[in-house]
Amino acid sequence: MAQKTVGFLIRLHKAADTRISHQAILSVYDKTGLVDLARGLVKHDVRLVMSGGTARLIRDAGLPVVYVSDFTGFPEILGGRVKTLHPAVHGGILARDIESDEKDLADRHIEKIDYVVCNLYPFKVTVSRPDVSIEEAVEEIDIGGVTLLRAAAKNHARVTVLSDPNDYPEFLRELETGGVKEQSRKLYALKAFEQTADYDSAISGYFRKQYATGGVQHLPLRYGTNPHQKPASAYVMQGTLPFKVLGGSPGYINLLDSLNAWPLVKELKQALGYPAAASFKHVSPTSAAIGLPLNGKERKVYMVDDIAGIESSGLAQAYARARGTDRMSSFGDVIALSDKVDVVTARVISREVSDGVIAPGYDPEALEILKQKKGGKYFVLEIEESYAPPSLETRTLYGVQLEQRRNDVVISPQDTFNRILTPKDLPKLPDAALRDVTVATIALKYTQSNSVCYALNGQVIGLGAGQQSRIHCTRLAGDKADNWWMRFHDRAINITWKKGTKRADKSNAIDMLCSGQLPRNDVEKADYERVFQEVPTPFSQEERDAWLTKLDEVSVSSDAFFPFVDNVFRASRSGAKYIAAPTGSQKDGAVLETAEKLGIVFIEQGIRLFHH
């Protein structure tokens, strides 16, 4: 039937029933409340245009129906796949109340459509079935419905779009009281856009899992945070994943650690110009360091004195520092390295208990060494060094979408630490202090809050992460720094071990000796002493105090202000000479006064660095 004839018949029908003033097109899968809605529309002199099962339901309810095929003058084809995709439908929806649009409609005998009622095929429900085939999934992809929703939502200044049956009652109430409000049309349009966006996301997500093989865009994971949290995956909405899996199979938590650790070492290298490394566990660094040369004592403390050629690799020395700072916390770590991994670094990694590594590249021999760890299960990620994530980041928490600008603030020794609050006569920080406070502050950017960090010699020596009170962060980080320094005592360095003692057992015994957490019963004492050829004498409190007084020139950074002076006192006990923190506390005056009395330089670091 020609379009001109169709338009003539519709106008003729309107002339015969002068009550008809508006038109609605109804095309729904979920027919909840549809009959009541249709009755309300007819009551307000709205012509109902629809097809298929929707038309049958309304017709059987005794209400007048105009079939889409009569409205368009074109029959349904392809088994009903093409019904509403026609200029008579979409011209009627998209037409605005302007002269040029009115002329186009009149020239082509098209009538305006004022209401669109539509919801979509249940794609999510279909693909959630474990036995669903790709062919079945394809059949649940709605084309005409999505087009109706988008067209109506786009023209919501004139057209009302209803995509949720829960909105029908309020819509009818507004019709009863004089018409649909502008604000309601806006909210209905938003809901329609959200429904189509969610629908498209579900479709792309399904086909990403089917077709994006090889970890290029979508990487299936064994499970989520815990084994019962399945399915789990990593993917990007556009482009490709910024890393390649060269060995093993990373898990969900592994990626959380890797993708937090990598930008940390990348920023350290950019800020200070040295190779950088981080030992990462449970979404916080255990330590991070730059590749300053190791002296003989440090090599012994960090258990790398027998690694041939370590003096030639700044990257290996950076990781030796990062791993060696807190060996107990670093057990089973994820490693991040700023530079291409050389053979020396791979040899250091090869004998430590670790889950995996992320770096921008690997020498062929180094890669082979790493791929042999854990029987080939050790994960090795190659990150694209130039990759820059989007400026906005999102996450879903308890079904709620959260969005924020990514924390892309740049911490630099040149720009971040040039406001010295006390002593006021100090013109600038010494280079070593500037380096260390930079290390500490960049580390905080990737540490779960609340957090406080102690640094010395280009490395993190104590980190308090994820504590609810700042003093507990400061104490925890200080205790770790003390423990680290106690390991440089000759008594700890010169322990004689029984032959065959494993590195993990050595680390545990050293930690107990240096922390003073020695056995309190015979069973525990026997387990502790079994690793020694000669059991070391415990440190007395006087010995500990005397040795800890030698810890000096430590830089401390806090991710937010110090609310009380107790933080300054505790930092001072672990050799703090420099403190960097934001200001803004009511106790700022007292904090600065205390720092000055203790001989501590206090620098305002004007950026809060909470990380969650």
Cβ(562)–Cβ(421) below 8 Å:
no
Catalytic position from the list 13, 22, 44, 282: 282
- Long-range CB pairs of 219-223, under 8 A, 24+ apart, other chains included: 219/245, 219/250, 221/250, 221/251, 221/252, 221/255, 222/249, 222/251, 223/251, 223/252
Cβ(484)–Cβ(325) below 8 Å:
yes
What distance in Å separates the CA atoms of residue 90 and residue 76, rounded to the nearest whole number? 16
At 359, the amino acid letter reads A
- Within 10 angstroms of residue 364's Cβ, the number of other Cβ atoms is 8
The per-residue DSSP string of 568-606 comes to HHHHHHTTEEEEEE----TTHHHHHHHHHHTT-EEEE--
Q: Which residues, other chains included, contact 443 with Cβ-Cβ below 8 Å and sequence gap of 6+? A: 264, 278, 285, 288, 453, 455, 460, 463, 557
Cis bond upstream, residue 364 (ω within 30): no
Tokens of 29: 């899968």
Q: Would you state the torsion angle of the CA atoms of residues 144, 150, 153, 157, taken in this order, to the nearest 10 degrees?
A: -100
Strands 400-405 and 392-397: antiparallel
Catalytic position from the list 44, 154, 340, 506: 154
What distance in Å separates the CA atoms of residue 573 and residue 465, rounded to the nearest whole number? 19
Q: 313: burial class by Cβ within 10 Å (0-12, 13-18, 19+)?
A: buried
The per-residue DSSP string of 329-362 comes to HHTTEEEEESS-B-HHHHHHHHTS-EEEEEES-B
Active site residue 282: yes
Active site residue 269: no
The per-residue DSSP string of 493-504 comes to HTPPBPTT--HH
Strand partners, 244: 382
Which residues are known to be catalytic?
154, 282
